[in-house]
Amino acid sequence: MTEQHLPAPGTSERTRVRRIPEKAVTDRAALDAVLDAGLVAHLAVVDDDGQPYVVPVAYAREGDRVLFHGSTGSRLFRSLADGAPTCLTVMLLDGMVLARSAFESSMNYRSVMVLGRCEVLEGEEKEHALRVVSDHLLPGRWDDIRPPSRKELAATLMLALPLDEASVKISAGPPDDADEDVDRPVWGGVVPIVEAFGAPVPDEKGAAYPTPAYLAQWSR
């Protein structure tokens, strides 16, 4: 399924935003932008005993799917590989919103929720997906490092979650104070949250080599 044929975010009964629906975004480009900006997703799965778990995973978006991997020894990931339904979320926190009341104080954020079942990737597609995830998390690094061995590949489950059913919710802007609070003599506004990479710190052996030029291109 190509991107232009996917249902718009938030248009299925399960993904329609009901709480503060004015923050819902149905633009597919917004969905892609949030996923492309994130590095870690949270993945829900229920085990055979009905116990829910939420697992953080590194991921990457490729076209109409989200790619992530885990250990073949993980019963939760094996459950996903067997077709268990899941919910994946990504949230980017952009700022703290300081209103003039506790009730209206909030956060500015961009969030995505994806529902569905995973596909297991094998062979060349699996190796390609591993590189896609690496290129998303560590741009430029793949060509410098050793690729996965056969043993490492065998120990890795590579999963793809389609973006067929997803929602996007974005909160931005200043406080929305109640009328009776607007003139309260206290500061109000937004405190932005900025994420950034620091200067690279080599380990003992890394200090003998020049810092890779591609690290200078990393930005958040």
Close Cβ partners of 54 (under 8 Å, ≥ 6 residues apart):
42, 43, 44
As a whole number of angstroms, the distance between CA 76 and CA 47 comes to 7
Q: What are phi and psi of 24, to 5 degrees?
A: -70, 145
Instruction: Kindly state the average pLDDT of the residues 131-142.
Output: 97
Close Cβ partners of 164 (under 8 Å, ≥ 6 residues apart):
1, 6, 7, 64, 116
Reported as a single tens digit per residue, the pLDDT across 184-200 is: 999 999 999 999 999 99
Q: Do 158 and 121 contact (CB within 8 A), yes or no?
A: yes
Q: Is the pLDDT reported for residue 217 higher than 50?
A: yes
Per-residue pLDDT band for 4 (boundaries 50, 70, 90) equals low
Comparing 130 with 17, the larger pLDDT belongs to 130
Sequence spans of domains, the chain: 3-217
Q: Do 32 and 65 contact (CB within 8 A), yes or no?
A: no
Say how many residues make up the chain: 220
Burial tier of 51 (Cβ tally within 10 Å: 0-12, 13-18, 19+): exposed
As a whole number of angstroms, the distance between CA 70 and CA 76 comes to 9
Q: What percentage of the chain carries pLDDT values higher than 90?
A: 85
Q: What is the DSSP letter of 212?
A: P
Residue 107 in tokens? 């956060």
Per-residue pLDDT band for 15 (boundaries 50, 70, 90) equals confident
Looking from the CA of 44 toward its CB, the CA atoms found within 13 Å total: 13
As a whole number of angstroms, the distance between CA 211 and CA 201 comes to 9
As a whole number of angstroms, the distance between CA 24 and CA 15 comes to 10
Cα-to-chain-centroid distance, residue 81: 20
The pLDDT of residue 49 is 87
Per-residue pLDDT band for 16 (boundaries 50, 70, 90) equals confident
Reported as a single tens digit per residue, the pLDDT across 147-171 is: 999 999 999 999 999 999 999 999 9
- Assessment of whether the complete model's pTM goes beyond 0.95: no
Per-residue pLDDT band for 48 (boundaries 50, 70, 90) equals confident
18-32, 52-66, 99-113, 114-128: range with lowest mean pLDDT: 18-32
The pLDDT of residue 26 is 83
Q: Is the pLDDT reported for residue 135 higher than 50?
A: yes
The per-residue pLDDT of the chain, averaged, comes to: 93
Strand partners, 167: 113
Which CATH number does the domain 3-217 belong to among 2.30.110.10, 3.30.470.20, 3.40.710.10, 3.30.70.920? 2.30.110.10
